Amino acid sequence: MVSTQQHNIQLNEQGRLRHFLTIEGLKRDLLTRILDTAESFAALPGRPVRKVPTLRGRIITNLFFENSTRTRTTFELAAKRLSADVLNFNVSTSATSKGETLLDTLRNIEAMHSEMFVVRHNQSGAAHFIARHAAPGVSVINAGDGRHAHPTQAMLDMFTIRKHKGDFTPLRVAIVGDVLHSRVARSQILALNTLGVTEVRVVGPRTLIPTDARALGVHVHHDIESGLRDVDVVIMLRLQKERMAGALLPSEEEYFRLYGLTNERLAVARPDAIVMHPGPMNRGVEMDSEVADGPRSVILQQVSYGIAVRMAVMSMCMQTHADSGESA
Amino acid sequence: MSDLHIFMQHDAIIDLIDGMARVLKNRLQERGIDNPAVIGIHTGGGWIAEHLHRRLNCGDPPGLLDISFYRDDFTRIGVNPQVKPSRIDFDVEGRHIVLVDDVIQSGRTIRAAMNEIFDFGRPASITLVCLIERSGRQLPIQPDVAGLRPPLQLDEHIRLNGPEELRLEISRSRQPRNNGDR
């Protein structure tokens, strides 16, 4: 056990979360602890003061090499609700475009006593790279790297599912759409299987499902009706417009006709099935507005829960510095 | 850790709580408070709060605070793995609050709890009730009502177990305890 933990850069010697880079290699207990911790923070919006003093005086840096206003904003809000100070580095408009290397940028921000980096990058493995080179006492959270992982999105999805369904064990979950290019789907599949659901299905055209999908522990469906039959949870993925230009897909209309989620299609799922989407959503492409705004949609709750889950991960990583006697 | 022994059993603790409830009622009456709301600190304080709540005939359900995220030593101790959401189902603004904990030692837990209460609203007053008041205060915070003041050495640790069968246990650590956590 110790040896596997030593190989997992995300955990410290006590097996506690130091960085949060991927769901891979994390055990069910730890994922459950993240969800439990997030429960405390999910109650905050109901209070007159919507923050806790936990990380007062600490500095958290959003290091975004890829634009994403929405994700950056939820991380920023999560940090502020923990009373941390937040630096936002939009690196495409910052020093790297002047020739500074990534590691120089990192050292500079570390010199400002930032103890946590929230990293978004279009290259898979970027957050791992920064975690490997970060000073002791500095934590890295992956806010999406290339096609690889988006673990906080997956955990907020798990939190949303648990809020609605309670126990993961009996659940059948369908993930519909562009699984091939989706870091969200990869992280969701790992999280769902680690948390012990009955079945994970991926549903989509052959061109958008990885050829080795079965190795991820999923059932593959190319027909949406068979894919949605009797599921408890439907997770729709965003179809990135840039994929439309290539040969992977015929057209938006054709995609919607074959894979778009409508109330009629949803009728084969369980009557209490919930519908999720990581956003931003293309109405009339992945999903009919009637479904998106309908009673089974929990899409806006996902956004609120995202802040609580990110607070949980941030506070747990910061705690680990204490265990190791590290400080920045 | 060694030398664990039982200090007090359930029935005696219940007698103690009965006594605390009587003193508390008088104290509240003296201050002209007739509709207090009870808040317990997770975990032991929550159990005592339930008992006191029944004896005070309060209308509102007792609140429960988990002060993990308000601790002044968060960076040293971190998140309690069993952290529970704080829950207060009444409006704190303008209310007279009875704050309940099992043991007061340094006073730091109470400070954190009061900080958290103020994030729910501005109470009219806070009356502090503790089952056990022991030595080791590091902050100028004293209970208004205490069940018992046992003479304990600095290396002795007292702990309430429950909730069905309440039991107070004393253990002695070989190294002096870091008593900053109560």
- Tell me if B75 is assigned to some domain: no
CATH number, residue A228? 3.40.50.1370
Q: Is A215 on the interface with B (CB under 8 A)?
A: no
- Tell me if B79 is assigned to some domain: no
The residue in chain A having the minimum alpha-carbon distance to the alpha carbon of residue B85 is A40
Q: Is A42 on the interface with B (CB under 8 A)?
A: yes
- Would you state the pLDDT for residue A93? 59
Host domain of residue A11: 2-150+304-324
- Tell me if B177 is assigned to some domain: no
Please check whether residues A199 and A320 belong to one and the same domain: no
Q: Is B120 on the interface with A (CB under 8 A)?
A: yes
Q: How many domains are there within chain A?
A: 2
Q: Is B6 on the interface with A (CB under 8 A)?
A: no
Partner residue opposite B78 with nearest CB, options A82, A323, A327? A323
- Tell me if B82 is assigned to some domain: no
Please check whether residues A286 and A309 belong to one and the same domain: no
Average pLDDT estimate for B76-105? 90
- CB contacts of B69 in chain A (<8 Å) are 40, 52-54, 82, 315
Please check whether residues A50 and A135 belong to one and the same domain: yes
Please check whether residues A106 and A211 belong to one and the same domain: no
Partner residue opposite A322 with nearest CB, options B66, B70, B76? B76
- CB contacts of A47 in chain B (<8 Å) are 119-120
Host domain of residue B155: 2-21+35-70+92-172
- Would you state the pLDDT for residue B120? 96
Q: How far apart are the first and last CA of chain B?
A: 18
Please check whether residues A185 and A204 belong to one and the same domain: yes
Chain-chain contact of A33 with B81 (C-beta, under 8 angstroms):
yes
Contacts of residue B32, defined as CB under 8 A and 6 or more positions apart, other chains included, come to: none
Q: Is B121 on the interface with A (CB under 8 A)?
A: yes
Please check whether residues A144 and A160 belong to one and the same domain: no
- Would you state the pLDDT for residue B181? 54
Spans of chain A, pLDDT less than 70 = 1-7, 93-99, 242-246, 320-328
- Would you state the pLDDT for residue A89? 87
- Would you state the pLDDT for residue A101? 80
CATH number, residue B55? 3.40.50.2020
Whether the predicted pLDDT of B148 surpasses 50: yes
- Å between A16 CA and nearest CA of chain B: 10
Please check whether residues A178 and A224 belong to one and the same domain: yes
More confident residue, B180 or B51: B51
- Tell me if B104 is assigned to some domain: yes
Q: Is A37 on the interface with B (CB under 8 A)?
A: yes
- CB contacts of B85 in chain A (<8 Å) are 39-40, 42-43
Weakest-pLDDT range from A12-16, B34-38, B49-53: A12-16
- Would you state the pLDDT for residue A244? 63
Q: How many domains are there within chain B?
A: 1
Instruction: Report whether A238 contacts A282 (CB < 8 A).
Output: yes
Counting one residue from A and one from B, how many pairs have CB atoms under 8 Å apart? 62
Interface ipTM = 0.83
- Would you state the pLDDT for residue B182? 63
- Tell me if B160 is assigned to some domain: yes
- Tell me if B55 is assigned to some domain: yes
Please check whether residues A204 and A180 belong to one and the same domain: yes
- Would you state the pLDDT for residue A315? 95
Structure tokens at B144: 């208004």
pLDDT bin (cut points 50, 70, 90) of residue B58 is confident
Please check whether residues A174 and A137 belong to one and the same domain: no
- Would you state the pLDDT for residue B17? 98
Instruction: Report whether B105 contacts B157 (CB < 8 A).
Output: no
B115: nearest Cα among B105, B124, B123, B103: B123
Please check whether residues A102 and A196 belong to one and the same domain: no
- Would you state the pLDDT for residue A2? 40
Chain-chain contact of A54 with B69 (C-beta, under 8 angstroms):
yes
Please check whether residues A145 and A36 belong to one and the same domain: yes
- CB contacts of A52 in chain B (<8 Å) are 69-70, 116, 119
- Tell me if B123 is assigned to some domain: yes
Please check whether residues A48 and A136 belong to one and the same domain: yes
